[in-house]
């Protein structure tokens, strides 16, 4: 408490009184009044309530100075629509304006240099999140400008070389998320320009070429972002002179060269975000001097060598992302125990060796560990249970399946468990020792990919009431598909492909609540994954969005020994997007009811023993993108409809009695066109090794084994283009990018 001050009692009423007087005194200037009114007329829809008073200084969003001049016009998120800023805009009459904030509206048009030249006193200009377009004006409006935010518009062209010339006090500049191009304006802090600049955000544009020297002059620079452009060349050497930098973000460009030892000069650096470039070389040995570092993201580069041990001295680290590089070294020599803030560590797809470092278990804040696709080995230790918040775990090279499951099922927060290339040839015990199972309470995403596990599908899977995605692709699982799978309330994505599963397609599976009823699907909480996931395809990895709801509802049972008929109940799974039953031993007809699956995008029934005709109702599946019935015993005409005729003939081949477009053989009146020339006998699928070769490739390519293709929801796409402000989500999205990785089997 401040000491009692008797003056305050007297002073306060005076203050109030004078402020009442002053609003009356500061009546608004007539020209400005009219200008503001004509501004509202330029808006095609104006929800502004500005007619209520004569004094425009009292209007919503307006502040005047002592003399009644309008100084602030603040109308963010007012649902303003319309074309503004022609050179004759009435706003140009507000010559005393210092603050103009029209962000988050739907204003369009371009910024005219002439118009700007009237606003000589402008200090803060925020036009972000509008629909403005055209090129940038030749000059910034005034030498007093401090903050300029033009982000999330559609400005294009290069930044004029004269743009920053008049600035003296320029502090913050944000043009992210536009279509600006041309050379990067490195000279922003040189000569005439201001050296006070603290924030520069050029992300998500199309700037190209290399970043020339100049930024080193920005001695006050705190935040520098130019991620997601087309920048090439080396990191500018003088960037290390901007020693006040707290965030350096140049991800998703084509930068080359090494991260220099001089980076340790940036002692204030908290965020280093250079993922997806072509950086090479080793990480600086004295990296540990960056004691304020919180986020390190160098995913998808060509870095090599070992991790500098000093990294373990960066005790403020929250996230380490070094996935998909050529890093190596014995990981168990690193002692992580000082990283008490560490929340995420992703070293996926490198060449690290050694055993799983136990010291990781002392990082009590860990939420995500991903070490998959390295040469790291080991067993899950019970100490992992001290990681109370662990939500995502992704490892390979493990042994002792039963031991691992018994421990991990007690990880209360675990939502995503991805284990691959582990447990080679171990047996999944039917249930011994897991009878009183109530573990994995929060597990939503379980993948045991390419583990060559034997045995039948274990009964404890039936207890995973929160499971949404299950992939057991690439094992040696035998026995039938258990019918309890159909009772898991949240399951919507199943891959059991490439196993030795036999028996029939269980009818119960067709009752999966999330594939049957829309309401159930809507009730599910939409979860985020702690780390981005991607299919590490040879050339173009696809980054999946991190919401589980963006995965496509899928049933993939391909490459097994399933026999019997495809049950007609399959038509109940109305929400299914992908159905793959290829390379099995299904016989009988293709059930007519498949045409009830109105959302179906991909349907593969190839390499079975299906007979009869293709139901004509299939032609009504309007979302169907791929359809493959090759190598069965189908006959008769291919149904005519919009979709099926656009497909490749190869999707139908190997059915000697099938006819009509897109196959070359026309349908004669009666099917006498049996031409045994084309007939491939497929009683034993092992007769066609070429197919296996192709298929094996397919598996390597899609080795994450997640479900099917991605549905990009409209809202999600919007989020992407609006460049959501989360360090990770920002750009880790459906970018089909080159992945210069060797493949591992």
Ligand X SMILES: *[C@@H]1O[C@H](CO)[C@@H](O)[C@H](O)[C@H]1NC(C)=O
Which residues sit at the interface with ligand X, rule CB under 6 A? 31, 34-35, 38, 49, 52, 76, 88, 90, 92-93, 101, 103, 124, 126, 128, 147, 149, 151-152, 174, 176-177, 199, 201, 206, 208-209, 216, 223, 225, 230, 237-238, 241, 243, 262, 265, 288, 309-310, 313, 335, 337-338, 359, 379, 400, 403, 406-407, 561, 563, 585, 587, 723, 725
Sign of CA dihedral 617, 619, 624, 628: positive
CB of 7 to ligand X, least distance (A): 34
Residue with the CB atom nearest ligand X in the bound state: 403
CB of 673 to ligand X, least distance (A): 26
Q: Which is nearer to ligand X, 245 or 347 (CB)?
A: 245
* b/e per residue 326-358 (b: at least 16 CB within 10 A): bbbbebbebebeebebbbbbbbbbbebebebbe
CB of 197 to ligand X, least distance (A): 12
Q: Which is nearer to ligand X, 40 or 313 (CB)?
A: 313
Q: Which is nearer to ligand X, 599 or 608 (CB)?
A: 608
Q: Which is nearer to ligand X, 231 or 555 (CB)?
A: 231
Q: Which is nearer to ligand X, 129 or 551 (CB)?
A: 129
CB of 552 to ligand X, least distance (A): 27
Q: Which is nearer to ligand X, 400 or 550 (CB)?
A: 400
CB of 93 to ligand X, least distance (A): 4
Q: Which is nearer to ligand X, 158 or 516 (CB)?
A: 158
CB of 123 to ligand X, least distance (A): 10
Backbone φ and ψ for 521, nearest 5 degrees, come out as -60, -40
Residue 147 is encoded by which pair of tokens? 């903050």
CB of 31 to ligand X, least distance (A): 5
Distance CA 677, CA 216 (A): 74
Distance CA 272, CA 292 (A): 11
Q: Which is nearer to ligand X, 592 or 736 (CB)?
A: 736
CB of 736 to ligand X, least distance (A): 12
Enumerate long-range contacts of 64-70, CB under 8 Å, 24 or more apart.
64/26, 64/28, 65/26, 65/96, 66/22, 66/26, 67/26, 68/25, 68/26, 68/27, 68/28, 68/29, 69/29, 69/32, 69/94, 69/95, 69/96, 70/28, 70/29, 70/32, 70/36, 70/94, 70/96, 70/97
Three-state SS across 196-265? Answer: CCCEEECCCCEEEEECCCCHHHCCCCCEEECCCCEEEEECCHHHHHCCCCCEEECCCCEEEECCCHHHHH
CB of 538 to ligand X, least distance (A): 21
Q: Which is nearer to ligand X, 400 or 454 (CB)?
A: 400
CB of 614 to ligand X, least distance (A): 20
Q: Which is nearer to ligand X, 182 or 641 (CB)?
A: 182
CB of 333 to ligand X, least distance (A): 9
CB of 640 to ligand X, least distance (A): 30
Q: Judge if the upstream peptide bond of residue 362 is cis by omega within 30 degrees of 0.
A: no
Of 413, 364, 440, 380, which Cα lies nearest the Cα of 530?
413
Residue 340 is encoded by which pair of tokens? 């008490």
Which residues are bridge partners to 338 per DSSP?
A: none
Of 623, 510, 496, which Cα lies nearest the Cα of 560?
496
The DSSP line for 494-545 is EE--SS---SB--GGGGG-HHHH-HHHHHHS--PBPSS-EEE--SS--EEEP
Enumerate long-range contacts of 151-156, CB under 8 Å, 24 or more apart.
151/175, 151/176, 151/177, 151/178, 151/201, 151/723, 152/128, 152/176, 152/177, 152/178, 152/722, 152/723, 153/127, 153/128, 153/129, 153/177, 153/178, 154/178, 154/179, 155/111, 155/179, 155/180, 156/180, 156/181
Which residues are bridge partners to 230 per DSSP?
A: 208
CB of 82 to ligand X, least distance (A): 16
Distance CA 175, CA 204 (A): 9
Strands 533-535 and 542-544: antiparallel
Distance CA 688, CA 677 (A): 17
Distance CA 652, CA 644 (A): 10
Distance CA 260, CA 12 (A): 58
CB of 65 to ligand X, least distance (A): 18
Q: Which is nearer to ligand X, 378 or 639 (CB)?
A: 378
CB of 359 to ligand X, least distance (A): 5
Q: Which is nearer to ligand X, 450 or 730 (CB)?
A: 730
CB of 242 to ligand X, least distance (A): 9
Residues 6+ apart with CB under 8 A from 47: 78, 79, 80
Residues 6+ apart with CB under 8 A from 696: none
Q: Which is nearer to ligand X, 190 or 521 (CB)?
A: 190
CB of 362 to ligand X, least distance (A): 8
Q: Which is nearer to ligand X, 326 or 402 (CB)?
A: 402
Q: Which is nearer to ligand X, 35 or 632 (CB)?
A: 35
Q: Which is nearer to ligand X, 359 or 616 (CB)?
A: 359
Q: Residue 721 burial (CB < 10 Å; 0-12/13-18/19+)?
A: exposed
Distance CA 555, CA 566 (A): 13
Q: Which is nearer to ligand X, 322 or 407 (CB)?
A: 407
Q: Look up tokens 């799978």; give the residue.
A: 485
């Amino acid at each position: 408490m401040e000491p009692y001050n008797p003056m305050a009692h007297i002073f306060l009423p005076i203050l109030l009184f004078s402020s009442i007087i002053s609003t009356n005194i500061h009546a608004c200037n007539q020209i400005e009044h009219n200008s503001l009114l004509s501004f509202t007329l330029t808006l095609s829809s104006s929800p502004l309530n500005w007619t209520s008073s004569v004094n425009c200084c009292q209007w919503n969003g307006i502040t005047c100075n002592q003399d009644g001049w309008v100084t602030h016009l603040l109308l963010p998120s007012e649902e303003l629509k319309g074309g503004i800023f022609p050179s004759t805009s009435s706003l140009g009459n507000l010559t005393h304006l210092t603050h103009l904030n029209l962000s988050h509206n739907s204003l369009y048009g371009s910024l005219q240099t002439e118009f700007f030249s009237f606003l000589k006193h402008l200090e803060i200009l925020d036009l972000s999140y509008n629909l403005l377009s055209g090129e940038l004006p030749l000059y910034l409006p005034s030498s007093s400008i401090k903050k300029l935010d033009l982000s999330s518009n559609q400005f294009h062209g290069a930044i004029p070389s004269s743009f920053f010339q008049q600035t003296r006090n320029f502090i913050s500049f944000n043009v992210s998320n536009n279509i600006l191009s041309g050379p990067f304006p490195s000279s922003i802090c040189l000569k005439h320009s201001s050296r006070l600049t603290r924030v520069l955000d050029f992300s998500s544009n199309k700037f190209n070429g290399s970043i020339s020297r100049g930024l080193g002059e920005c001695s006050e620079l705190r935040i520098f972002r130019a991620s997601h452009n087309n920048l090439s060349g080396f990191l500018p050497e003088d960037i290390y002179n901007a020693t006040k930098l707290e965030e350096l973000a140049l991800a998703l460009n084509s930068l080359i060269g090494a991260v220099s030892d001089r980076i340790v000069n940036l002692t204030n650096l908290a965020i280093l975000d250079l993922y997806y470039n072509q950086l090479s070389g080793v990480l600086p040995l004295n990296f540990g001097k960056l004691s304020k570092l919180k986020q390190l993201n160098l995913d998808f580069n060509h870095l090599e060598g070992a991790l500098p041990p000093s990294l373990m001295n960066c005790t403020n680290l929250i996230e380490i992302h070094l996935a998909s590089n050529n890093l190596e070294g014995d990981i168990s020599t690193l002692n992580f125990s000082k990283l008490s803030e560490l929340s995420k560590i992703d070293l996926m797809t490198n060449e690290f060796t050694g055993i799983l470092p136990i010291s990781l278990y002392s990082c009590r804040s860990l939420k995500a560990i991903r070490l998959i696709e390295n040469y790291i080995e080991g067993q899950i230790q019970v100490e992992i249970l001290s990681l109370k918040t662990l939500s995502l775990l992704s490892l390979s090279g493990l042994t002792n399946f039963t031991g691992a499951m018994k421990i991990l099922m007690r990880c209360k927060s675990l939502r995503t468990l991805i284990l691959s290339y582990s447990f080679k040839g171990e047996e999944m015990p039917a249930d011994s020792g897991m009878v009183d199972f109530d573990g994995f309470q929060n597990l939503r995403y379980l993948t045991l990919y390419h583990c060559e596990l034997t045995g039948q599908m274990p009964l404890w899977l039936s207890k995973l009431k929160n499971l949404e995605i299950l992939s057991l692709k690439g094992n040696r699982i035998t026995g039938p598909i258990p019918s309890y799978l159909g009772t898991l309330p949240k399951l919507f994505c199943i891959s059991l492909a490439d196993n030795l599963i036999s028996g029939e397609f269980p009818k119960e599976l067709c009752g999966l609540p999330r594939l049957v009823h829309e309401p159930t699907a809507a009730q599910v909480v939409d979860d985020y994954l702690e780390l981005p996931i991607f299919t590490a395809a040879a050339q173009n990895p696809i980054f999946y969005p991190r919401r589980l709801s963006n995965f496509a509802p899928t049933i993939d049972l391909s490459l097994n020994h399933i026999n019997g008929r495809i049950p007609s109940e399959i038509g109940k799974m109305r929400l299914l997007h992908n159905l793959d039953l290829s390379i099995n031993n299904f016989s009988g007809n293709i059930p007519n009811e498949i045409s009830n699956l109105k959302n179906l995008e991909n349907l593969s029934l190839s390499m079975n023993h299906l007979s009869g005709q293709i139901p004509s109702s299939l032609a009504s599946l309007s979302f169907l993108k791929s359809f493959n019935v090759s190598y069965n015993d189908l006959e008769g005409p291919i149904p005519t409809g919009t979709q099926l005729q656009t497909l490749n003939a190869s999707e139908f081949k190997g059915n000697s009695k099938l006819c009509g477009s897109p196959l070359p053989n026309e349908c004669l009146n009666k099917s006498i066109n049996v031409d045994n020339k084309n007939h491939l006998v497929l009683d034993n699928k092992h007769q066609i090794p070429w197919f296996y070769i192709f298929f094996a490739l397919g598996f390597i390519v899609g080795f994450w084994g997640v479900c099917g293709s991605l549905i990009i929801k409209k809202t999600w796409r919007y989020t992407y283009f609006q460049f959501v402000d989360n360090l990770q989500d920002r750009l880790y999205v459906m970018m089909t990018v080159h992945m210069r990785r060797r493949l591992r089997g």
